[in-house]
């Protein structure tokens, strides 16, 4: 195809570019996703993923982090944020051609979301419920893709620690896996597997009491982020 003139870049700026974010957190052992109630057309009153348009001169990652802060009051650095993929089907937004770059964010249990600067309400919804709702735009698809990405990355990375506080127990970590994958894991094999991967977890030497039972060792995330060999996920088991 023909390249544009140097000063005619705007000739190719037909699309508005937005970011939408799938933010997962764990609340009382259940995986939740942050959803907002839309305050304007289209899809007024419908639930949607938080997001918004990329500002002039703003990078994609910066836009995602800015929106995340506006909706959750999240301090940068506390959450894991990564790009999911771009969604650009021509009909996905009734207003016109809007390209959305979706992000996946994983955060430890957060304070209540602060509603965005406009009138929309933001709240945590159990993922199991959210999957059954009709979300605005193609956000149902984005949510499913984000969930699948999170599930897959738990298999071969230490990403589960992104759901935990700075220090955590092996049980905390296992609770993350069980919530994201949707089925229980054997505590003993899980413990051996995770602590047996060199560099993955750093023992702080301290322990934490959780009500009844033997106190659990407290760990910090180590320098190794890749699980090799990976944890295997029971493909046929997961329930939303």
- Cβ-based nearer residue to DNA, 114 or 207: 207
Structure tokens at 196: 């047996």
| Contact partner at residue 114 from a copy of itself, DNA, none, CB < 5 to 8 Å by partner kind | none
Strands 51-53 and 16-27: antiparallel
Q: What is the rounded distance in angstroms from the CA atom of residue 21 to the CA atom of residue 192?
A: 34
In whole angstroms, the minimum distance from the beta carbon of 203 to a copy of itself comes to 25
| Contact partner at residue 30 from a copy of itself, DNA, none, CB < 5 to 8 Å by partner kind | none
Residues binding DNA: number (CB under 7 A): 26
123 near a copy of itself, judged by CB under 8 A: no
In whole angstroms, the minimum distance from the beta carbon of 109 to DNA comes to 17
Contacts from 218-221 at CB under 8 Å and sequence distance 24+?
218/167, 218/168, 218/169, 219/167, 219/168, 219/169, 219/170, 219/173, 220/166, 220/167, 221/158, 221/161
Q: How far is CA 145 from CA 68, 83, 123, in A?
A: 19, 12, 20
Cα–Cα nearest to 223, from 153, 176, 150, 157 = 157
Among 191, 200, 201, 221, binds DNA (CB under 7 A): 191
202 near a copy of itself, judged by CB under 8 A: no
118 near a copy of itself, judged by CB under 8 A: yes
Annotation marks residue 82 as catalytic? no
Residues 33-52 that bind a copy of itself (CB under 8 A): 39-41, 52
Phi/psi region, residue 15 (left: phi>0; alpha: psi -120 to 50; beta: rest), is beta
Residues 87-116 that bind a copy of itself (CB under 8 A): 88-90, 95-99, 101, 116
187 near DNA, judged by CB under 7 A: yes
Find the catalytic residue in 70, 121, 148, 167. Answer: 121
- Active-site residue list: 121
């Amino acid at each position: 195809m023909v390249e544009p003139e140097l000063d005619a870049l705007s000739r190719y700026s037909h699309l508005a570019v937005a970011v939408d974010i799938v933010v997962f957190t764990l609340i009382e052992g259940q995986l939740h996703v942050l959803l907002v109630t839309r305050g304007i057309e289209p899809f007024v009153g419908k639930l949607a993923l938080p997001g918004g348009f990329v500002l002039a001169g703003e990078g994609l990652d910066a836009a995602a982090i800015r929106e995340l802060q506006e909706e959750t009051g999240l301090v940068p650095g506390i959450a894991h944020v990564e790009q999911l993929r771009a969604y650009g089907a021509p009909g996905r937004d009734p207003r016109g051609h809007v390209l959305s770059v979706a992000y996946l964010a994983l955060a430890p249990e957060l304070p209540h979301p602060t509603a965005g600067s406009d009138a929309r309400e933001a709240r945590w919804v159990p993922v199991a419920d959210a999957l059954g709702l009709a979300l605005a735009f193609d956000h149902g698809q984005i949510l499913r893709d984000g969930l699948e990405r999170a599930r897959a990355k738990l298999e071969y990375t230490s990403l589960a620690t992104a759901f935990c506080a700075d220090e955590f127990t092996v049980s905390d970590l296992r609770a993350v896996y069980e919530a994201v994958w949707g089925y229980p894991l054997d505590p003993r094999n899980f413990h051996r597997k995770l602590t047996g991967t060199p560099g993955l977890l750093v023992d702080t030497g301290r322990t934490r009491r959780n009500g009844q039972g033997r106190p659990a060792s407290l760990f910090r995330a180590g320098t190794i982020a890749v699980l090799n060999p990976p944890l295997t996920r029971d493909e046929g088991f997961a329930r939303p």
